[in-house]
Structure 1
Amino acid sequence: MSRGHKQRQWVKPASAPNSEINVTPLVDVVLVLLIIFMVVTPLLEKDILVRVPETEVEENQPPPEPDDQQIVVQVDKSGAYSINTEQIPASDYVARLKRMLNAKKPDEKVVFFMADDAANYGKLVVALDGARAAGAKILGMATELPQNAVIQGTQATPDGAPPAPPAPPTP
């Protein structure tokens, strides 16, 4: 053999190539995902079920005028109750509401509630429970007063807000 020419040597592998999948990383990933789902699943089950009423779109029909026979309970920011703008002590609330509801037909026992934004939530819940105990079949929440509603002796403005105090007279 000559020195300038090298003979190629083929190296035969000692074993055949490994064609199997390495499952150790796969098992690690699956276990991590399992732990994540085990931690997250209990957090997803803490939902509050809320029954939302379906809405119907009525075109160009004015809302019905408020009825004098409707019962509207207001809870002001101090926690005092009013039934149809008449201030009621908390001790007489359920009895007065029961008398008003007993005069109505069973399908007309509806009470609407309006709470001041600064009112205590617990006072509103007590008012709702008291109305249910007095015999109300349907409880409704009002978000804004009708245009001709009276808020404790003052006439409401068309946008539903209480009127501004009168300006002092100029001399």
Structure 2
Amino acid sequence: MAGRKQRQWVKPQAQPNSEINVTPLVDVVLVLLIIFMVVTPLLEKDIVVRVPDTEVDQEPTPPDPNDQQLVVQLDKDGGYSINTEKIAPADYVTRLKRMLAAKKADDKVVFFMADDATNYGRLITALDGAKTAGAKVLGMATELPQNAIIQGTSVDTPTPPPAPTP
């Protein structure tokens, strides 16, 4: 037998396998499922909301006159009005200083409402005067608030335009 060569038998090549091996896919999906099942309860946090207690029978208290907003109006002729009261330009800063002195430090807010035809320099002078008087925050109002009274006319009851004369 020594002279006899050993023959190695080689299997003929088989057809390629065209099926997808899903075993690794199933393993990965199951691992991800387990991870999500463990992590999801940890992600759910309670949101603490503090809700104020309400009393139904309590009537609202009237606002303190010192808590009213200060609105400075400038007309096209250069006149000043604080809320509804006309003020001379010379008395503007002193009057505003007295009104702001009655307010708390955080409530020293002055809103400005200027006519479209107002001189820009007069508006800047009014803003500087309010800062000199002690205003902490300056605001510009473009529209009147509801129920505002400006120079004796109420905003929520608009007057119809006059009829044209022929």
TM above 0.5, one fold? Answer: yes
Letter in 1 for 2:142: T
CA distance in 2, matches of 1:149, 1:164: 18
- What TM-score comes out, normalization by structure 1 length? 0.54
If asked which structure has higher relative contact order (CA below 8 Å, sep 6+), I would say 2
1:129 aligns to what?
A: 128
Q: Which runs of 5+ in 1 are unaligned?
A: 1-65
Letter in 2 for 1:149: A
CA distance in 2, matches of 1:88, 1:98: 13
CA distance in 2, matches of 1:121, 1:164: 30
CA distance in 2, matches of 1:163, 1:151: 14
Report the Cα offset of residue 163 of structure 1.
Answer: 2.6
What is the DSSP-based 3-state SS (H/G/I as helix, E as strand, rest coil) of the residue aligned with 1:144? coil
Report the Cα offset of residue 103 of structure 1.
Answer: 0.4
1:96 aligns to what?
A: 95
1:163 aligns with 2:159: yes
Report the Cα offset of residue 152 of structure 1.
Answer: 0.7
What is the DSSP-based 3-state SS (H/G/I as helix, E as strand, rest coil) of the residue aligned with 1:123? helix
CA distance in 2, matches of 1:141, 1:149: 16
CA distance in 1, matches of 2:109, 2:139: 7
2:116 aligns to what?
A: 117
- Kindly indicate whether the alpha-carbon contact (under 8 Å) linking 1:155 and 1:163 is maintained by their aligned counterparts in 2: no
- Kindly indicate whether the alpha-carbon contact (under 8 Å) linking 1:154 and 1:163 is maintained by their aligned counterparts in 2: no
Report the Cα offset of residue 164 of structure 1.
Answer: 3.1
Task: Give the CA RMSD over aligned residues.
Answer: 2.1
CA distance in 1, matches of 2:81, 2:123: 12
What is the DSSP-based 3-state SS (H/G/I as helix, E as strand, rest coil) of the residue aligned with 2:95? helix
What is the DSSP-based 3-state SS (H/G/I as helix, E as strand, rest coil) of the residue aligned with 2:156? coil
- Render the CA deviation track for 1:111-144: whole Å, top value 9, x for unaligned: 0000000111111111000000000000000000
Q: Which runs of 5+ in 2 are unaligned?
A: 1-62
What is the DSSP-based 3-state SS (H/G/I as helix, E as strand, rest coil) of the residue aligned with 1:92? helix
Report the Cα offset of residue 67 of structure 1.
Answer: 8.6
Greater helix percent: which structure?
A: 2
87-96 vs 144-153, which moves further: 144-153
Report the Cα offset of residue 165 of structure 1.
Answer: 5.8
2:138 aligns to what?
A: 139
Bigger CA radius of gyration = 2
CA distance in 1, matches of 2:162, 2:154: 13
